Amino acid sequence: MNSRMNYISRRRFLQRSLVMGTASAAIPSLAQAFSSSDDSSARHPETEEVSPFQTVRKNDISIAQWALVNEVRSGEWTTLDFPRIAREVFDINGIEFVNTLFESPTMGYLNQLKQNADDHGVTMVLIMCDAEGDPAQPDAKTRRQFEINHRKWIDAAHYLGCHAIRTNCRGPEGASREDALKWAADTYNMMLEYAIPANVSVLVENHGRISDDADFMVDLMKEVDNKYFGMLPDWRSPDWISQDYNLEYLEKTLPWAQGMSYRNQDTEEQTARMIELAESSGFRGWYGIESNGREAIHKGKELLTKYLNL
């Protein structure tokens, strides 16, 4: 079967999956996106030479919505206001969503979000996905459900023009390294079957258990070995974890980094060391500030602007 027929088969599979499943019903489907979009994000992926991240050739600063989660939860503003907050309060060019903070991701909602981002000149970078299960599970049905649960966010990322979604990968307590690696690789390969035609990358952030083990994550990156699969290294807050750990984790996972979950470190010197490490590795892309609160975001922007020469 030639590549065109392979593509048609995948496309029909995706259409059937969306029609049969209810999880993505409120969000524009990939079938709609492929049939109606004129932009390059809808092209046949096998004709693409690079992933969405690899088209980025410069550094910029974004805000992770989680940095302002308390404001959203208290009702000060909603996700639809996020582009305005990024521009008017921080004068920052990019935003990174959290899926659990989307109020009602219907077609009208997503269209309004796109309009708001366009009005304020803000790029929608990625969607951080929580509360959708775990990929490194022993049960094949559970792994498949994890993949299905993320389709609606891949659809939303595609529609909004985000280059990626971010997942968590913790694994069950007591699982062997070999089993966890096998389970996680199986799940992410399934996810990529859906994500690649949408031109959306799937990333993993170090959020506990096996994902906190840099060597394990390197093995997972190598096992899956796909340009649409990568890391979003979390520069963990110093009160959570040691500075040496942060540096070592970042250094090991940088070859697969498709974004940075930036947090201010204990000292400016330590923050500068981590920025310089990313720079010297050749990383170019979005530094998403996840330091908590407005003051910390302003400080992060100041440091990133200084050490990235923006």
Total domain count, the chain:
1
pLDDT of residue 49: 56
Strand partners, 60: 286
Kindly state the tokens that stand for 182: 């096998």
Question: 240 phi and psi, to 5 degrees?
Answer: -95, -35
pLDDT given at position 287: 98
Please state, in angstroms and as integers, the Cα–Cα distance from residue 190 to each residue in 12, 20, 131, 204, following that order.
16, 18, 19, 15
* Chain center to CA of 290: 13
Classify each residue of 159-168 as buried b or exposed e, where b means 16 or more C-beta atoms within 10 Å of its C-beta: bbbbbbbbbb
Best CA proximity match to 219, nearest among 193, 188, 246? 188
Q: Residue 122's domain spans which residues? A: 3-307
CATH number at residue 142: 3.20.20.150
Cβ atoms of 240 and 246 within 8 Å: the answer is no
Rg (CA), the chain: 19
- List residues bridging with 257 in a β-sheet: 231
Q: Where does 214-307 show beta strands of DSSP type E? A: 229-231, 260-262, 286-289
Q: In the chain, what is the greatest distance between 2 CA atoms, to the nearest angstrom?
A: 57
Q: DSSP letters of 13-66? A: HHHHHHHH-STTTTS--HHHHHHH--SGGGS-GGG-SS-TGGG--S-EEEEEGG
Give the C-alpha separation, 55 to 228, whole Å.
12
pLDDT value at residue 240: 63
DSSP 73-110: HTTS--GGGHHHIIIIIT--SEEEEEGGG-S--SHHHH
| DSSP letter, residue 256 | G
- Residues 87 and 108: their CA atoms lie apart, in Å, by 22
pLDDT value, residue 54: 64
**Distance in angstroms (rounded) separating the CA atoms of residues 257 and 203:** 8
In a structure prediction context, what are the per-residue pLDDT tens digits for the chain, which is 310 residues long? 433 334 334 443 344 333 333 334 445 454 344 333 444 333 333 434 567 776 667 999 999 999 999 999 999 999 999 999 999 999 999 999 999 999 988 999 999 999 999 999 999 999 999 999 999 999 999 999 999 999 999 999 999 999 999 999 999 988 999 999 999 999 999 999 999 999 999 999 998 889 999 999 999 999 999 999 999 999 987 666 667 888 999 999 999 999 999 999 999 999 999 999 999 999 999 999 999 999 999 999 999 999 999 9
H/E element, 124: strand 123-128
**Would you state the structure tokens that stand for residue 208, as one six-digit string?**
């506990």
